[in-house]
Structure 1
Amino acid sequence: MGLSFFVCSLLSLLLLIPFSCSLTPDGLSLLALKSAVDSDPNQAFSDWNENDTTPCHWSGVSCMAILGNSDPRVVGITISNKGLHGYIPSELGALVYLRRLNLHGNHFAGSLPSQLFNASSLHSLILYDNNFTGSLPPGLCRPPRLQNLDLSHNDLGGPLSPNISQCKQLQRLILAGNRFSGEIPAGLGSSLKNLVQLDLSSNLFNGSLPPDLGDLGSLSGTMNLSENQFSGEIPASLGRLPITVSLDLRSNNLSGQIPQQGSLTNQGPTAFLDNPGLCGFPLQNPCRNSPISGQRIPAITPEASKHIQKGMKPGIIVAISAADALGVAMIGGLIVFIYWRARDNKGSCSCTGKEKLGRNHVARKWFCGKNRGNATESGSEKGGEGELVAIDKGFHVEMEELLRASAYVLGKSSLGIVYKVVVGNGIPVAVRRLGEGGAQRFKEFEAEVEAIGKVRHPNVVRLRAYYWAPDEKLLICDYISNGNLITALHGRSGQAPANLPWPVRLKIAKGTARGLAHLHDCSPRKYVHGDIKPSNILLDSNLNPYISDFGLSRLFGITGNPNANISGGYLGSVLPYARTPSVSAKGGDWSGTTAGTSKSFTDCYKAPEARIVGARPAQKWDVYSFGVVLLEMLTGRSPEAQWAATGEELVSWVRKAFEEEMALSEIVDPALLREVHAKKEVLAAFHVALTCTEAEPEARPRMKSVSDALEKIGSSSYSC
C-alpha cells in the first residue's frame, strides 16, 4: 500500500515538471546567459526556448557542424546594442567551440569571469561599450587562438598584467576608455608579433614608453596611446614602426626632443600635441642647445670657419640663429593653428569630448556630427539627419552597426582617409571619408554615386553604399585584402618586393585591361577613370586585380574638398567620353617647356595632353596610363625612380632601348630573367605597352583592342 502510494506520487510529480532534457549542452549553457540578464527591453531572448532541441535557430546564435559531433555546435554569439542589463555567466566557458562573443553596446556589469576563457576556440571577444569592472582575468590568454580583444569604453582597471604577452596570436588589442593604470609591461612589443592594432588611449597608464613597442612590425593604422600619463622621452626605437602607422601620443607628460628617425619623421604635429615638455620638429617648440629639428646642417669647412670667425661678430651670429629659430617656430605655430582652426571651425565637430560614440577616437571623428545637423540647414535636401543608402540591395548594414564597428586606418592621401571597418557579421569593408562640405549639392552627389554604383565588373571595386549628411559624406566599398600593385612590385618600406612571376603579372595586366575596357565601352555610360596607376590597382588574396578610386575626384569636388582640383579636368570622375585634340608633347617629357604643363612626379602616369591645364578628360588618357603601368610591370622600374636616376621618363627610356636594340636582359625586370620560356610573351607585352604610350592620342588603340591583344598572349578571349 505504502509503496504504491510512493510510486504514484513520484509519477505525478514528474508529470508536473516540463521535460527539457532534449536541449543540447550548448543550449543549456546559453540559457545561463538568458538567466543572467535581468532587463531585456528589446526582447533579444524572445525565441530562446528551453523546450527546443537545439539553440542554432535562436536570435544571435550561429552554429557549425563539427567533425565527430552528431549535433551542430555553437560557434558565435552576437547580441549587440539591445540595452541588456546583467552579467556574463561562467557557464559560457563550457562552449568549447565558441569562436566569437559579441555583446557590445549593452549594460553588462560585474567582472569578466575567469571561466569564460575555458572556451578554448575563442578568437574574438567584443565587449566594448558596457559597464564591466575589475581587472583582466589571469587566464585571458588561455584560448590559444585569441585574435581580437575589444574591451574599450568600460570601467575596467588595475595594471595591465605581463601575462598579456602570452596572447601570441593577438591581432587587435583595444582597451581605450577604461581605468587601466601602471606601466605598459616590458616585452609586449617583442611578444605580440601579429598585432595590427593597439589602442590604449584614455586610461591612467603612466611611466615611460617601453622601447620594444618599436618591434610591433605588423602594426598598421594607428597606435593610439593618447590621453594617459606617460612620461619621459619618446624612444627612438618607435621609428622602427612601419611607415604607414599613425602614432597618437597626445595629452601625456612626455618630454625631450622628438627623435627624427624612421616612421617618427612622417608624423604630423597632432601626434605630439598637449605634451608641454616635448620639443623639436614637427612642433613649433624648438629644442634649446640643439640644431633645429628637421633641418639639415651642412658641414663647415676650415675655410668657412675662418671666414665666419673673421667676417661676423658673435653677437650677429647669435642674432641670426635666434631669428632662424623664431621663424621656424612661427611657421610651426601657424601650421598647428590652421589645423585646429579647420577642425573646430563653425559648423564642424571637433570630437574631443568623451562621449560614447564608438570604439575609439577614429570612429568619433567619422560620425560626431551624425545627428547634430539643423533640419533647416541651407540648401540641404536631406535636412540634418544623416542617411546610409545601400546601392547594392544585398548589402545590409545598419548605421549604428557601422558606427560602432572595429576600424583602423588603411591609408591617407590628398583624397582623404580610408578605413577598414569590420562589421558585425565579420565581413570587412573599406570606408572612405569624403569631407564635410557640399551640403547644397545633394542631388548632384546622389546622381554621381548612383552612376558609380551601377558599374559592375569583376575587376572594378564595387561600391556598396554611401552615407550622406550635411556635415559628413562616406563611401562604403568592398575591402580588397592584399594591398596594391605598387607594393607587390616594389615592396613596402623595409620589405622586399613579392617577385611576381610572369604568369601572375600577365594575369594582373589582363584583368586591369578588362576592367578599363568595361568602363570605356561596356558599362551603362562610356566613362573615363582618369587616374590609373599601380596604387589604384588593388589585389586580392589570389592576386586578382581590382581598379579602385573610380569617380573619386568628382565626388571630392562636389563635397568641396580643397585637395580635389577639378579645374584641370584630370579626374577620376564619372564623365562621358570626350575626344581630345592631338597635342604634340613628344615622349610626354614634362621637363620640357610646353606652356601649362606640370612637372610634378605625380604626373608620371599621365598622358602628355593630360598635363595641360584645362584639358578635358578622355579615354585615351587611361590607355596611356595603363601603358605606363604595363611598362613598370615589365621592367620592374617605377617611373619616379627612373626619372630620379636618369632624368628620363620610363616611356622614353624603353623606346630608346628598343631603337638601339639593347639586350632584353638590360630592359626587363631581373626577376623575370629566370623565366626563359616567357621571352616571346614578354616581348609581345612590351609592344602592347609601347602602342598604348604613343605621344599622339589618335595613335593609341582603344582599351578594348588593348585587352584583346593581351588576351591573345594567353589562351582565352574577352568580350563585353
Structure 2
Amino acid sequence: MTNLPCSLFLLLLLNSLSLHTTIALTPDGLALLAFKSAVSNDPQSSLATWDETNSDPCHWSGVSCANVTGFPYPRVVGLAVAQKNITGYIPSELGSLLFLRRLNLHGNNLNGTVPSDLANASSLHSLFLYGNSLTGPFPSALCNLPRLQNLDLSFNSLSGMIPLNLRNCQQLQRLLLSNNKFSGQIPSGVWPEMNGLVQLDLSSNQLNGSIPPDFGHLNSLGGTLNLSHNHLSGEIPAELGRLPLTVSLDLRFNNLTGEIPQVGSLSNQGPTAFLNNPGLCGFPLQIICQNQAPPAPSINQIPAPPVESVSEKKGLRANLIILISIADAAGVALIGIIMVYIYWKIKDRDNGWCVCAGQGNPGGRGGMCAWCVNGGMSIESTDGEEEEEGEGKEGELVAMDKGFSFELDELLRSSAYVLGKGGKGIVYKVVIGSGIPVAVRRLGGGGGCNTGGEQRYKEFAAEAQAIGRVRHPNVVRLRAYYWSHDEKLLISDFISNGNLATALRGRSGHPTLSWSNRLRIIKGVAHGLAHLHDCSPRKYVHGDIKPSNILLDGEYTPHISDFGLNRLVTITGNIIDTAPFMGPHPSLSTAALPKKTSGPFERPSPYLAPEARVPEARPTQKWDVYSFGLVLMELLTGKPPEMASPSTSSGLQLSGLEHVPELVRWVKKGFEDSRPLGEMLDPTFLQESHVKKEVISMFHVALACTDGNSEQRPRMKTVSDNLDKLGS
C-alpha cells in the first residue's frame, strides 16, 4: 500500500510529459505533420527534420516563419519542398495555415486533386504546384483567396474546361496552366475582369474553339501570351492588337485561319508567332491570301496595251528598239567604268599613298601630335544625299555637313587631352580654335601603302559617310574623318558627363542617379536604338550596347557611342579587341568582316546575347535588344551582369547558347519566388516609393528583352513605345 501512491505519481508524471509534448507542438506544426503523413515516399529524406518531438516547426527544412502580432509564437509563412521527388498527395490540413503566404511544392510526384480547403489559407499569395501528377478540374475555390497573385499549375494532368468563374481571380498577376489536359473553349467574359494579369500561359492543352476577342482587354499583360499547341480555330481577332506593344504572341500549332490582322501590337509580331497554322496567310508569313491581289508589276513588267491592227512586224520592231536601248545603256555604263578605272590609276601614280611618314605623339596636354598630311588643308563637305559616298581624297579632312567647318591644321595645333585608350585607338578631347570641344579617335596607321590600300580607303570613306548620315539626339554624331597612310582619325561630338558605367558606380564625381535620371537615360537609349534599327537611312545593328558605350551629357541625356566603329577599325587593317563584330545590318558591305577567335584569353562582353557567342554567328538586331535588356536590369538592380559569377571570373570563354548572365538568372528567380521588390532594386532609390509600378513594368520589359529565344524578344520600336508610357 505504501508503494501505490508512488506508482500512481509516476504514472501521472509520464502522462503529463506526454501531454506536454503533444500540446507544445503548435497548430501550424500539426498541419505540417499532416503533409508529412500524406507523403508515401521521400527518397531524399527532405522531411527528416520534421519531428513531432521538436516543438518548433520553424526549424524544419523548407519551413519559414515570422512573428505575428497577437500570437506568442511565430507562425508559418512559407513552405518550400520543391524538386525532392516526393510521392504522395496534398492534404487539406495545409489550408489551416492561416498565415501561409507562399507554398512551393513543384517538381515532385504529388498526385490527386488540388484540395479546395487551400482556399482557407487566406494569406496565400503564391502557389507553385507545377511539375507534379495532379489530376482533377481547375481548383476554382482558389479564386476566393483575396491575396492570390501567382498560380502555377503547369505540367500536371488537370482536365476539364477552364471555368467561367475564373473571373473571380481578379487579383491574379500570373496564371500558368500549360502542359495539362484542359479541353473545351476558352471562356469569354473572363479576361476583362483580370486587369492585373501580367503573364498568361495556356499552351499545350486540348483547348478548341476560337480565341476570345476580350483577350485584348489584358492591359497589364507583358512577356508572351502563349496559346500554342492547342486546337484553336477561326480567325485571329483584331482586338488582340489592343494588347500592350511589349506582348509577344505565340499562336503556333493551332488550326487558325484567315488573314493576320495588321493592327496595333499584332503588326509587331514576327513570323514565329504564327507558324504551323496551315490556314493563316498574310504578313509576316510568306503566304499570300487567296482574296488578296497579287503584287503590282513593276514598270518594266507592265505589258503594252493591245492596239488594233498592230502587225507582227511592228511588234518585232518594238522589241528591237528595247534591245537596242538596253545595249546602249550597257555600253555607256562600261565606258564609265573604264574612265573611273583610268582616273584612279592616274591618281595612284601621281599622288601615291606613301607621301607621309610623320610620327604621332600620344601625349596628354599640348599639341595633339605631328600628324602627317598630304596636300591641302581644306575640308571637303559632303552634306546632302545627292553627293556620292566616299567623296574626298586621301590626306583630306572630310566633314559630314556644312555647319561643321575648320581647317585641318587648326585641329592639329589644338590642345588635346587623352580620354581613354584601348584596342580601338586613343580618344582625345580636342578644343578647336572656335572653342568647340570635339572627340577625336586616333585609329593609328596601316592600310595605306599595304596591298589594297586604295580599296580600303574607298570602303572606309563609304562606311564613314553612311555612319555620318545617322542623325539622332541619342546617337553620337560622327562629324568628320581623316585618312592618310600614317593616320586615321574620326571626329565626333564631345559628350561632357562621362558614361553610364561610371554613373552607376558613383565614380568620376557622379552623384547617385535618381529614378527620374534613370528613366530619362533608358528611354533615350531605347529611342536611339530604335532609330538605328528602323528609322535611319539603313537598318543597322550596333552590336556592342553596354553602359560604357552610353555617354551622358550634363542633363543626363544619353548618347549611344561606338556605332559602326569596329567596321571602320577592321577596314583600316589594325588589330581590334576580341569583341565580336559591331557593325551594320547585312544591307551594308561585308567584305571585311572580322573573324571571330576563341581562346583561353578571350573575355567576351558580358552584355552579349547568348547566340552572339556562337562562332561565326551573324549579328542581328535581337542581339541589341538582349544587351539593352541587360543594361536595363543593371540600371534597376545596380548589379553587373555577371554579379562576380565564378563562370566568368576565370576568363574562360563560355559555351555560346548555354551562357545566361547571372543577373538574368537572379532576376527571373526573384520573380518566380515572389521575392520582395526591395531585395531586387538598387538601394539608392528605394525611398522613391512612388515609382513601384514603373519599376515593375520596367522589370517585365527587361525580362522580355532577355528572353533566351531571340524570336520572342520584342523589337526596339516596341520597347521604346512601351517605355514612353512610363512616367508621363
Classify the TM-score, shorter chain: 0.3 to 0.5
| Superposition TM-score, scaled by structure 2 size | 0.46
Tell me the TM-score normalized by structure 1: 0.46
